[in-house]
Amino acid sequence: MRVIQGILLIYFLVPVFLSRAQLSFPVEEFYHRSADRFFLIDSTEHDFYKQHLTSKPILQERSYPDSVFFDNSKQYYWITQKLFKENFLIFKGDDFWCAVDPIIDIEGGKDLARDSSMTNYWNTRGIRVQAKFFDKIGFVTTFYENQAMVPGYQSDIFQSRGEYILAGGGTTYKQVNAVVPGYARTKSFKSTGYDFAFAEGYFTAAPSRFFKLDFGNGSQFIGNGYRSLLLSDNAINFPFLKLETNFWNDRVQFHVMYTQLTNLFRLEYFNTPEATYERKWGSFHFAEIAVTKNILLGFFEGSVWRHTDSIGTHPMNGALLNPVPFLNSLFIEDSNYNQVAGMNLCIQLARNIIYSQLLIDHGKIAGYQIGFKSYNLFIPELDFLAEYNHAEQNAYLANERRYNYSHYNSSLAHPLGSGFDELVFKINYQYKRWFFSQHITYSAQLYSDSLNTGGNILQAYSNINATDFDRNKIFYSQTEAGFQFNKRYNLQIAAGYIHRQSTRSLSNNLTDYVYLTVRTRLRNKRFDY
C-alpha cells in the first residue's frame, strides 16, 4: 500500500514543476451563475460548450475571472478599495501573489411561529488565503469557526445526522450529537446550540491547458442545476485527489477523483484521546463531451469501497485505482462495494439552459432531474430557474448501510436521500450592487416513524413495498434582499424571511423565520428541505 502511495505521489507531483498556477471559484451559487452568464451573454470570443461548467469547482483561468469580478466603480480611498473592489490584503512580487480575505457570517433572527423569546443567531469567523508561487504552484486554504442557535427545523435536520456510538454493552449503537450538512460535525453550545469548526483547502497545478491536478480537502458538484443527483456539496468536505484532462480541442473533458469518506460510527477500540470513525474509500469518474456546440452529454460513475469498520482495517481493493469508468461495475460483485451511475445533459439555447440528470442504481433507473435556467429574462440581471427532482425508494442505499452513498452521515448527492419528489423555483435579480432573490421548494418524501422505508441515507436497503406509505410534504419559501459590497470575497448584507411548513406531526412543523445577516458567502448554506 505504501509503495503504491509513493509511486502515485511522485507521478502526480513531478509535473508541478512544469506547471502554471491555477485557482478555482468557490463552490457557491453566485459564482456559478456569473460564469454561466459570461459565456451565454457577455462573451463574443469564447464558446460555452468548451468550458465544461458542469464540473465544479470551476477553474478561474478557464472561466475568465475578470468578467466575474468586474467592477468599474471609482474608489479613491484604501478602505473603500478593499471594501468594494479588491481582496482585503494583497501581497505580490515577481514570483508570487497572495491574497487574504476575512470570512464572516453574522446572522441574527427570530422564529415568529414559536412561542418563545429565544433569539436565533449564526456566528462565523474565519480567514481565506489564496496564493500562487513562481507561476507554478497555486493553493487556497480556508478556516471557519462557528457557533449557532438555529430555528427548530434546522436543529431537527442536524440532530438526525448525528454520530453513532456503541451502547448496550457494545452490541448496539445510539445516535448522539449533530452534523451540519455541508459544514461539520458539532459540539454542544449553550445547551441548545452548536459549536463547530472546519478547514478546507486545495493545492492545484496545470502542467498544460489539457491537464490539471487538484489535491486537498473540499467539496465537489456535478451538474448544471440547483441540486445534483450525482455528486453535490451537501456533504461535509472530504480529502481528494482529482485528475482532469481535456482533449479534442476542449470538446471532451474527463476527470477521475479518489477520496476518503467517513461513516460516523465510533470505533470500539482506539489508542487516541477520542475514538476515531470508520472510513471508506470513494472513487468518482466523470466524462463530458460536446456532441454539438449547443449540447453537452456527461457520463458519471460514483463508487464507495470498504476501508475501516468495526472489524478493523481492510486492504485496499486495487480496482479502486482503475481510471476507466464503468469497468468496475461490470466485473466487481462485492458486498463491500457500492456503485451508482448516471448521465448529465446540458442544452444551450441562446440565453437559456435546459438540463437533466439520470441516476442509475441497482441495475435500473433510480432517479431523474429536469430543469430550465434563463439569464437576463426580460431585463438585464434577472435570472430564473425551475427544476424537478425525483429519486426512487432505495436509491443510493446498500444492503449494508456502511456502504451507502454518503459521507459524515449526509448524502453525497441530493440532501433528501431517496424516495422523494421535489420542485424548485428560483428568481435572482441584481441591479448594480443591490440584489433580490425568491426561492421556493416543494417536496414529498416517504417516511415511517417505525419502519425503514428505503428513504433514509443512514439506513440500509429496504425490502418493504412503500407504495402506500405516508409522505412528508414540505413547502419552503425564502425571500431575501440585500447589498453586495465585493465580488472577490462576496461580502454582503441582507435581510430575509423563511417560511417552512411540514405535514409530518413534529413540534417544528411550522417556521416563520426573519433574519438580518452580514456575510462573506464563499460556500452554499442550504437547509431548504
Rounded CA Rg of the chain: 23
CA distance 180 to 156: 10
Rounded to 10 degrees, the C-alpha dihedral 203/33/529/456 comes to: -50
Most confident of 56-60, 139-143, 210-214: 139-143
What is the pLDDT confidence band of residue 45, given thresholds at 50, 70 and 90? Answer: low
Q: Write down the number of H helices and E strands in the chain.
A: 7, 28
> Per-residue pLDDT tens for 196-242?
999 999 998 877 778 889 999 999 999 999 999 999 999 999 999 99
Decide if pLDDT at 170 tops 80.
Answer: no
Q: Cβ contacts of residue 162 below 8 Å, gap of 6+?
A: 175, 176, 177, 178, 179, 264, 409
Residue 477's CB is within 10 A of a number of other CB atoms, namely 16
CB 41 within 8 A of CB 211: no
Decide if pLDDT at 14 tops 70.
Answer: no
CB 515 within 8 A of CB 107: yes
C-alpha cell belonging to residue 464: 418493504
pTM over 0.75: yes
- Pick the more confident residue, 66 or 236: 236
> Per-residue pLDDT tens for 396-445?
999 999 999 999 999 999 999 999 999 999 999 999 999 999 999 999 99
CB 177 within 8 A of CB 195: no
What is the pLDDT confidence band of residue 54, given thresholds at 50, 70 and 90? Answer: very high
> Per-residue pLDDT tens for 489-517?
999 999 999 999 999 866 789 999 999 99
Decide if pLDDT at 480 tops 90.
Answer: yes
Residue 256's CB is within 10 A of a number of other CB atoms, namely 20
432 — alpha (psi -120 to 50), left (phi > 0) or beta? left
381 — alpha (psi -120 to 50), left (phi > 0) or beta? left
Task: Please report, as a single letter, which amino acid is at residue 337.
Answer: Y
C-alpha cell belonging to residue 178: 449533530
Q: Across all residues in the chain, what is the average pLDDT?
A: 90
CB 471 within 8 A of CB 71: no
CA distance 9 to 375: 43
CA distance 344 to 359: 9
Average pLDDT over residues 371-393: 97
Decide if pLDDT at 269 tops 70.
Answer: no
Map grid coordinates 478546507 to a residue.
200
Residue 331's CB is within 10 A of a number of other CB atoms, namely 9
What string of DSSP letters covers 226-242? SS-SSB-TTSPPEEEEE
pLDDT at 374: 97
Decide if pLDDT at 8 tops 70.
Answer: no
CA distance 37 to 31: 10
pLDDT at 444: 96
Q: What are phi and psi of 206, to 5 degrees?
A: -130, 95
Most confident of 53-67, 107-121, 185-199: 185-199
pLDDT at 385: 98
Decide if pLDDT at 294 tops 70.
Answer: yes
> Per-residue pLDDT tens for 77-87?
999 999 999 99
32 — alpha (psi -120 to 50), left (phi > 0) or beta? alpha
Residue 242's CB is within 10 A of a number of other CB atoms, namely 21
CA distance 478 to 469: 29
Decide if pLDDT at 9 tops 60.
Answer: no
Average pLDDT over residues 457-476: 91
Map grid coordinates 485528475 to a residue.
243
- H or E element that contains 115: none
* Bond from prior residue into 57 cis (ω within 30 degrees of 0): yes
C-alpha cell belonging to residue 485: 459590497
- 25-64 burial code (b ≥16 CB/10 A, e <16): bbbbbbbbbbbbbbbbeeeeeeebbbbbbbbbbbbbebbb
DSSP state of 41: I
pLDDT at 270: 62
CB 360 within 8 A of CB 350: no
CA distance 466 to 452: 9
DSSP E strands, 156-294: 163-167, 172-176, 179-180, 184-185, 187-189, 193-208, 211-218, 221-222, 238-247, 252-266, 277-290
Decide if pLDDT at 271 tops 80.
Answer: no
What is the pLDDT confidence band of residue 185, given thresholds at 50, 70 and 90? Answer: very high
